[in-house]
């Protein structure tokens, strides 16, 4: 049995294993069909007009302006995967193709996330049409423009399973914008996304993920990040559209000295969404640092569980978690679950959390300046979600802001 | 017809009477001082004029420019030309000072694509002595010193071009130099725009800049005395509120008597 077959068997063994968190999804209700199509490289990136307009709301630039490269997967078909001609030092391709091309990839595949974690990792490994992207920067390559990746569901009731591998080689710099969404007419479906990040010595990766699903879509991302000495990972997660249920708990393993991770999470829970979203950092080397901030809004009947878990396994480590939640309706719920776990002396772990409704004093103050109640609420909410992500380059910050404006137009 | 007219106003908060038959008239360009011991009803009167929730008018009425305000929401009153500088304005993270100044002036939020250099809030910040480059993009009141808050409030008031400005203790927590700047700015504005003004204060320091018309002393939810500001200040400074008003603030007298009984 080769390594791939071994992994496949391991995955098959846990096909019914429920996840530790989140409602259990019966995956039989979703379709696996919709045949994979052809990967197009070396040609212009072109999308149908309606799709092009739609994916802009999740940060995807259909004309590839200000991008280093693009990956676009619709259902099970990789429509496009290519770096821009003039950009050197980065590879963008589908993961199945990368596995064929690079034998060494077996040293990364399922090494940051365990294949037997639960039935969803099992499904991702055993899925009939595997997909996902492979992005790798070469040593020393510093890309200022982001690579964009879009995972798009265009068929009603489809189960899309992808496995992404991102490798930032030594001293490289990589920015990724990932937009995950469904076609406006698709209401039901499921997305399983495995993402494994490898941040080598001195490398920096910023990862901005924008989710824009539909109200009957189940989402189960499984993410692991391994950060070596002096490496930095910055995650910026944004979800402003309703979803049936979404459960994720990305985990960073800070294994190198002076490695860094920052998570910034912006969630606007709408409709009947159930969002169980956390971030975890395991600090296991001297000087490792983690910082997590989340800004959560609960409207309508949305239920949001905001988790954070800091694990100190080594002295001289430091981590802080900051979670703020705002309830905009009496039927919405926010449950903040911060966890600090010190396994040795000398780790400095802290958290602050505050959940409540908009303060009347703030509303009245803005109204005394001439805004009506709805306008005042919108301004406070917009301010609450202000994406001040330390470490994100200015042009990306501007772009995230624009995307938030675009995404939130209908909400606020 | 007076600019602001309050007739026989009584107000309750959660069933407890806080204002009891207030009468007050302010004409265009007049500056009125509102004084009184803590808990006498000054803040309740201001909040009722502004239309804050929780202040239930149970009798009387407030008219402004001939329009009855009693059931009008806060923002509608602001649009009529009633503007306030709060004593301790709230912090709002993510809401920028430049934007709140623009909102006060009826403008939309700053959009650098339409207006590459911000042109509305910037001169107003300069005018009140807040360095625009340093303050324009700050979250409103977050990390502001006492003096900076007062100046920021003034910039918002000036932006709104009010018919009446209500200043809640503009001189508290402000150093002597800031007080002078604030006083001069206010005095000039009032004069140039013939703007009316209602100021809550405990001190006379700001008065020389504002040339006040009348002072009112509140006690127990009523206006107990009205008259010349300088004269009233002098007498209160000499005697204190209790003796000047000829009574102790509600509850205090009973408390003192109770303590005496216990001691004896």
The domain spans of chain B are: 4-94+160-263
A363 in Cβ contact with A380 (< 8 Å): yes
pLDDT at residue A216 is higher than 80:
yes
Between strands B164-168 and B92-96, the pairing is unpaired
- pLDDT tens by residue, A182-214: 999 999 999 999 999 999 999 999 999 999 999
DSSP B55: -
- The pLDDT of residue A295 is 93
pLDDT band at B34 (very low <50, low <70, confident <90, very high): very high
Work out whether strand B31-35 and strand B196-200 pair parallel, antiparallel, or are unpaired. parallel
Nearest to B53 among A360, A380, A384 (CB): A360
Instruction: Bin A157: left if φ > 0, else alpha if -120 < ψ < 50, else beta.
Output: left
Q: From the candidates A368, A371, A383, which should be mutated to test the interface with B, based on the most B CB atoms within 10 A?
A: A368
> So what's the pLDDT on residue B204?
84
DSSP assignments along B134-169, one per residue: HHTTSEETTT--HHHHHHHHHHHHHHH--SEEEEES
Half-sphere exposure of B164 (CA within 13 A, CB side): 26
What is the pLDDT at residue A390?
A: 63
**At a CB cut-off of 8 Å and minimum separation 6, what does A193 contact?**
A124, A132, A151, A161, A162, A163, A164, A180, A219, A220, A221, A222, A223
CA dist B46 → A48, A129, B68, B153 (Å): 59, 68, 16, 16
Mean pLDDT of chain B: 90
3-class secondary-structure state, position A132: coil
Residues 254-293 of A with CB under 8 A from B: none
Distances (CA, A) of B178 to A308, B34, B233: 45, 22, 22
Give the residue numbers spanning the domain of A272. Answer: 3-20+39-408
- The pLDDT of residue A32 is 62
Cβ count near B256 (within 10 Å): 11
Of A364, A369, A382, the CB nearest to B103: A369
Domain membership of residue A27 (yes or no) is no
β-bridge mates for residue A220, sequence order = A192
pLDDT in tens, A152-185: 999 999 999 999 999 999 999 999 999 999 999 9
Q: For residue A28, is it within any domain? A: no
Sheet architecture: strand order including B4-13: B16-26, B4-13, B56-64, B67-68
- C-alpha B142 chain-centroid distance: 21
Nearest CA in chain A to B87: A365
Average pLDDT over residues A363-368: 97
Cβ B40 vs Cβ B236: under 8 Å: no
* Mutation site for B-interface testing, chosen from A354, A356, A370 by largest number of B Cβ within 10 Å: A370
CATH classification of B4-94+160-263 is 3.40.50.300, yes or no? yes
Q: Which of A360, A373, A382 sits opposite B94 (nearest CB)?
A: A382
The two three-digit tokens of residue A63, written as one number: 């004309």
Q: Is pLDDT of A406 > 70?
A: no
pLDDT given at position A388: 66
Contact B23, B8 (CB under 8 A): yes
DSSP 3-state of B54: coil
The whole-angstrom distance between residue B121's C-alpha and the CA centroid of its chain comes to 22
Q: What's the gap in Å between the CA of A364 and the closest CA on chain B?
A: 7
Residue A121 covered by a domain: yes
Interchain proximity A370–B160, CB inside 8 Å: yes
Averaging pLDDT over each range in A31-40, A195-204, B111-120, which range is the top one? A195-204
Q: Which residues in B lie closer than 8 A to residue A366 (C-beta atoms)?
A: 92, 95, 100, 103
What average pLDDT does the segment A236-264 reach?
A: 96
Q: Which of B177, B185, B190, B217 is nearest to B201 (CA)?
A: B217
**For A14-134, where are the alpha helices, taking DSSP H only?**
49-55, 95-101, 119-126
* Interfacial A residues in 361-380 facing B (CB < 8 Å): 361-362, 364-373, 376, 379-380
- Express each pLDDT in A311-330 by its tens digit: 999 999 999 999 999 999 99
Of A83, A259, A230, A257, the C-alpha closest to A171 is A230
By C-alpha distance, which of A205, A195, A142, A197 is closest to A175? A205
pLDDT of residue B251: 60
Q: Is residue A233, in this structure, part of any structural domain at all? A: yes
Determine the Cα–Cα distance for residues A180 and A230; give it in Å rounded to an integer.
30
Per the CB < 8 A criterion, the answer to whether A211 and A58 are in contact is: yes
What average pLDDT does the segment A359-366 reach? 96
Q: Using one digit for the tens of pLDDT, what is the confidence trace for A278-311?
A: 999 999 999 999 999 999 999 999 999 999 999 9
Backbone angles phi, psi at A378, to 5 degrees: -60, -40
Inside any domain, residue A166: yes
CB contact (8 A) between residue B50 and residue A365: no
Which pLDDT belongs to residue A33?
59
Residue range A380-389: mean pLDDT, rounded: 78
Residues of B in contact with A386 (CB under 8 A): 93-94
For B156, the closest of A369, A379, A382 (CB atoms) is A369
Confirm if A403 and A238 have CB atoms less than 8 A apart: yes
Residues A86-126 have pLDDT tens digits of 889 999 999 999 999 999 999 999 999 999 999 999 999 99
Interchain contact, A365 vs B90, CB within 8 Å? yes
Q: Are strands A69-74 and A77-83 parallel, antiparallel or unpaired?
A: antiparallel
Q: How far is B84 from chain A (nearest CA, A)?
A: 7
| B contact test, residue of A295, A356, A361, A365 with most B CBs within 10 A | A365
Q: How many CB atoms neighbour CB A114 within 10 A?
A: 14
How do strand A232-239 and strand A260-269 relate by DSSP bridges?
A: parallel
> pLDDT tier at B261 (50, 70, 90 boundaries)?
low
Provide mean pLDDT across the span A137-141.
Answer: 97
Residues of B in contact with A382 (CB under 8 A): 94-95
Residue A270: both structure tokens together:
């709408």
ipTM of the modeled complex: 0.91
Question: Of the candidates A361, A370, A371, which has its C-beta nearest B90's C-beta?
Answer: A361
Residue pLDDT, tens place only, B140-181: 999 999 889 999 999 999 999 999 999 999 888 788 888 888
Measured CA distances, B191 to A100, A274, A332, B185 (Å): 81, 59, 51, 10
User: Over pLDDT 90: what percentage of chain B?
Assistant: 70
- Average pLDDT estimate for B37-54: 94
Distance in angstroms (rounded) separating the CA atoms of residues A138 and A253: 22
**Is residue A335, in this structure, part of any structural domain at all?**
yes
Q: How many residues does chain B have?
A: 264
What is the percentage of chain A residues whose pLDDT exceeds 90?
75
- Rounded CA gap, A197 and A96, in Å? 16
- B147 or B195, which is more confident: B195
- Cβ neighbours of residue B230 under 8 Å, at least 6 residues apart? B204, B207
User: Is the minimum CB–CB distance between B248 and chain A shorter than 8 Å?
Assistant: no
Q: Which two tokens stand for residue A99?
A: 């596995």
Judge whether B194 and B161 are in contact, CB under 8 Å: no
> Is the pLDDT score of A82 beyond 70?
yes
Query: How high is the pLDDT of residue B179?
Result: 86
Could you tell me the two tokens for B3?
Answer: 């600019």
């Amino acid at each position: 049995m080769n390594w791939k077959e071994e992994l496949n068997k391991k995955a098959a063994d846990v096909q019914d294993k429920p996840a530790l968190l989140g409602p259990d999804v019966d995956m039989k209700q979703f379709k696996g069909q919709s045949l994979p199509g052809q990967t197009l490289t070396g040609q212009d990136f072109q999308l149908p007009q309606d799709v092009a307009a739609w994916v802009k709301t999740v940060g995807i630039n259909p004309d590839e302006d200000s991008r280093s490269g693009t990956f676009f997967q619709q259902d099970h078909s990789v429509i496009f995967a290519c770096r821009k001609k003039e950009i050197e030092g980065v590879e963008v391709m589908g993961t199945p193709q990368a596995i064929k091309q690079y034998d060494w990839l077996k040293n990364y595949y399922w090494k940051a996330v365990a294949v037997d974690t639960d039935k969803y990792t099992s499904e991702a490994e055993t899925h009939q049409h595997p997909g996902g992207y492979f992005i790798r920067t070469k040593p020393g390559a510093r890309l200022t423009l982001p690579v964009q990746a879009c995972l798009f569901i265009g068929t009603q009731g489809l189960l899309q399973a992808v496995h992404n591998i991102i490798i930032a080689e030594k001293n490289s710099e990589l920015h990724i914008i990932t937009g995950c969404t469904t076609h406006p007419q698709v209401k039901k479906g499921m997305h399983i996304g495995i993402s494994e990040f490898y941040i080598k010595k001195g490398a920096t990766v910023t990862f901005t993920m924008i989710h824009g699903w539909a109200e009957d879509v189940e989402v189960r991302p499984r993410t692991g990040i391994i950060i070596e000495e002096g490496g930095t990972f910055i995650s910026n997660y944004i979800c402003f559209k309703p979803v049936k249920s979404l459960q994720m708990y990305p985990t960073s393993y800070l294994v190198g000295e002076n490695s860094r991770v920052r998570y910034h999470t912006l969630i606007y829970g709408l409709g009947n969404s159930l969002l169980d979203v956390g971030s975890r950092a395991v600090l296991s080397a001297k000087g490792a640092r983690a910082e997590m901030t989340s800004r959560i809004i609960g409207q309508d009947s949305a239920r949001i569980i905001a988790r954070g878990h800091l694990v100190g396994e080594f002295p001289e480590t430091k981590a802080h978690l900051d979670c703020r939640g705002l309830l905009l309706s009496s039927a919405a719920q926010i449950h903040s679950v911060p966890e600090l776990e010190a396994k040795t002396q000398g780790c400095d772990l802290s958290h602050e959390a505050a959940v409540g409704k908009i303060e009347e004093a703030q509303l009245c103050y803005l109204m005394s300046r001439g805004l009506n109640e709805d306008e005042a609420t919108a301004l406070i909410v917009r301010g609450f979600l202000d994406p001040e992500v330390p470490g994100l380059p200015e042009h990306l910050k501007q772009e995230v802001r624009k995307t938030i404006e675009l995404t939130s137009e209908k909400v606020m | 017809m007076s600019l602001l007219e309050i007739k026989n106003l009584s107000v309750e908060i959660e069933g407890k009477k806080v204002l009891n038959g207030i009468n007050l008239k302010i004409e265009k360009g007049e500056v009125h001082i509102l004084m009184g011991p803590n808990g006498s009803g000054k803040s309740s009167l201001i909040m009722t004029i502004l239309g804050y929730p929780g202040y239930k008018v149970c009798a009387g009425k407030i008219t402004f420019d001939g329009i009855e305000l009693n059931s009008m929401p806060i923002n509608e009153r602001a649009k009529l030309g009633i503007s306030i500088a709060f004593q301790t304005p709230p912090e709002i993270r993510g809401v920028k000072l430049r934007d709140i100044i623009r909102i006060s002036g009826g403008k939309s939020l700053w959009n650098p694509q339409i207006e590459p250099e911000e042109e509305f809030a910037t001169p107003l910040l300069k005018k009140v002595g807040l360095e625009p480059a340093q303050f324009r993009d700050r979250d409103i009141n977050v990390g502001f010193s006492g003096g900076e808050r007062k100046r920021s409030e003034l910039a918002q008031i000036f932006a709104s071009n009010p018919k009446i400005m209500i200043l809640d203790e503009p001189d508290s927590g402000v150093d002597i130099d800031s007080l002078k700047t604030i006083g001069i700015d206010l005095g000039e504005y009032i004069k140039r725009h013939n703007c009316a003004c209602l100021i809550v204060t405990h001190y006379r320091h700001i008065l020389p800049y504002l040339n006040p018309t009348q002072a009112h002393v509140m006690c127990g939810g009523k206006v107990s005395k009205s008259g010349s500001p300088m004269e009233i200040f002098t007498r209160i400074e000499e005697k204190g509120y209790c003796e000047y008003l000829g009574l102790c603030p509600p509850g205090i007298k009973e408390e003192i008597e109770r303590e005496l009984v216990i001691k004896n």
